[in-house]
Amino acid sequence: MSSIKQALGGDLRQYGIVGALIAIVLLFQITTDGKLLLPNNIASLVQQNAYVMILAIGMVIVIIAGHIDLSVGSIIAFIGGIVALAMKDAGMHWLVAVLIGLALGAVVGAWQGFWVAYVGIPAFIVTLAGMLIFRGLAIVIVGETVAGLPGSFNAISNGYLPNWLGFVANRDAVTLVLGAVSIAALVLSQVRARRNTLKHGLHADPLGAFVAKVVVSAALIGYLAWVLAGSRGGAPIVLVLVGVLIITYSFIMGKTVFGRHVYAIGGNLHAAILSGVNTRRVNFMIFVNIGLLTGVAALVTTSKAGAAVASAGNMYELDAIAACFIGGAAVTGGVGRVSGAIVGALIMGVLNMGLSIMTVDSAWQQAIKGLVLLLAVAFDLINKRRAGTR
């Protein structure tokens, strides 16, 4: 057992986070008399928390590099207002409005990245200013609620994949096929990654631990697909969107030069500079990226509500930051994973839904989530101190 623990090393933290998520799910499944894992509730969990997962993907990259972004909530309100007005008042097709929203997110990210990367102003200050600027612009531009948006646009967050294949045992066949494809892709990618690791003589998990990890992950995906297949619409469209983003950014952070440079900057900035990393360009692209993902989150948020309001996105930045830290990102930078941020977002979502089903007051919900965040960061710091002592 000790040899396995030593071999797993830093992955123990990630396994602990997944274990915490499973424990929280089981706790609420018991305390809510089995209501938490009802098919429609699982679909709602995905739809209601998609914005947190999308923002967490971008935020964890920012945090790994040693920065923070406090402006994403305000930018969501700003972009959401622009997109809604483009469709409602300017009469643009919703696809054109979506492209405008994505482009605007990238431009806003470039604006903030310029001040951080090339002027040298700390990201905390730049994004704090951005939080005020874009919230003010959202209030000016949106004014009152902009509703009556096209149904096709609203389907981004509220719609489900079309049922092309009918039903299997009263379950949506498209969702079951999607789950099977996801499991196959998981197994293939994990086996290929382990084979490449061993081929280059690098450290790999023990075979037993590797098999257990793949089996548990496949079982969780299969169970999720089975439950979702029994919901009123099958697999939500936004789940596919989030899944594509998770796969894409996991690859970027784990397999590309850009991802390695982000970790290098967060781990040791001076060493990264001496190694020839163009830190200004990398930092600039980090903020362009989170701007783009904030644009995606703005589209998801606006389509979910079916309207744009100036108060949209309030406190969203704190949800995303909390998801990253709960998911194992280090306060000091240099440590974090996209998968961990997603698990952190799911923990936040399960807490929200479970406490809501139990009719816990919203004020207590905020207090409990704050306590979970504090304990997660404290746990991480204590582990690092113990590791340093050893």
pLDDT tens track, the chain, 390 positions: 444 444 444 455 667 788 888 889 999 999 999 999 999 999 999 999 999 999 999 999 999 999 999 999 999 999 999 999 999 999 999 999 999 999 999 999 999 999 999 999 999 999 999 999 999 999 999 888 899 999 999 999 999 999 888 888 889 999 999 999 999 998 998 888 888 888 877 777 788 888 888 898 899 899 999 999 999 999 999 999 999 999 999 999 988 999 999 999 999 999 999 999 999 999 999 999 999 999 999 999 999 999 999 999 998 999 999 999 998 898 888 989 999 999 999 999 999 899 999 888 888 888 988 888 888 778 777 776 776 655
Q: How far is CA 142 from CA 71, 151, 291, 296, 301, in A?
A: 18, 20, 20, 19, 15
d(CA 308, CA 84): 6
Q: Please spell the DSSP secondary structure of 134-169, one letter per residue.
A: HHHHHHHHH-S-B----HHHHHHHH-B----S-EET
Beta-bridged to residue 168, according to DSSP, are 171
Closest CA to 22 of 188, 232, 224: 224
d(CA 175, CA 161): 8
Q: Which 3 state secondary structure label does DSSP give 172?
A: strand
- In this structure, what are the phi and psi dihedrals at residue 337, rounded to the nearest 5 degrees? -140, 150
pTM recorded for the entire structure: 0.92
Tell me 308's DSSP state.
B
d(CA 385, CA 390): 9
Q: Please spell the DSSP secondary structure of 77-122, one letter per residue.
A: HHHHHHHHHHHHTS---HHHHHHHHHHHHHHHHHHHHHIIIII---
Domain boundaries, the chain: 160-235
Residue pair 205/199 in contact by the 8 Å Cβ criterion: no
Q: What phi-psi label fits residue 172: left (phi over 0), alpha (psi between -120 and 50 degrees) or beta?
A: beta
Residue pair 380/13 in contact by the 8 Å Cβ criterion: yes
d(CA 154, CA 54): 17
What DSSP element (H or E) covers 171?
Answer: strand 171-172
